[in-house]
Amino acid sequence: MRAILINAAHIILYSTNAEADRVFIRDVLGLTSVDAGDGWLIFKLPPAEVAVHPTDTLSQHELYLMCDDIETTITELAAKDVTIAEPISDRGWGKIASIKLPSGAGLSIYEPRHPTAYNLQE
């Protein structure tokens, strides 16, 4: 069944240093943006997907940026002086690492091994 009412997703990252994290996302990660007013940047993300995992307790939602080659991605980010919070680890379903935003918050990046939905044609 095709969802016809949802046409995009808006993700909010909370930050203790929003301006520095916005600059990082713009300049280091290279995401384009629009100014929603007063310098409030809204970034365009690559295609996205959502998964629902079972749990016994409610928890925070998670955001993972995806890439095709995590070794190259982490090497390029490290060359831009990005702090690697957690080195690459193999989880079976994919390889995952974490970087630090200027605010100190972690941001996970992974290379999936499972089928992905982000490139499905509508």
Q: What is the pLDDT along the chain (122 residues), one digit of tens a residue?
A: 555 677 778 898 999 999 999 999 999 999 999 998 888 899 999 888 888 888 888 878 788 999 999 999 999 999 999 999 999 999 998 999 999 999 999 999 999 988 788 767 65
Can you list the domains of the chain with their CATH numbers?
18-112 (3.10.180.10)
pLDDT at position 118, please? 73
> Is the Cα dihedral 43, 119, 107, 54 positive or negative?
positive
pLDDT at position 4, please? 62
pLDDT at position 105, please? 92
Between the CA atoms of 13, 47, 45 and 48, what dihedral angle is there, to the nearest 10 degrees? 0
pLDDT at position 38, please? 86
- Spatial contact of 41 and 23, defined as CB atoms under 8 Å apart: no
Tell me which residue has tokens 């080195």: 87
* Interatomic CA distance for residues 89 and 74, integer angstroms: 12
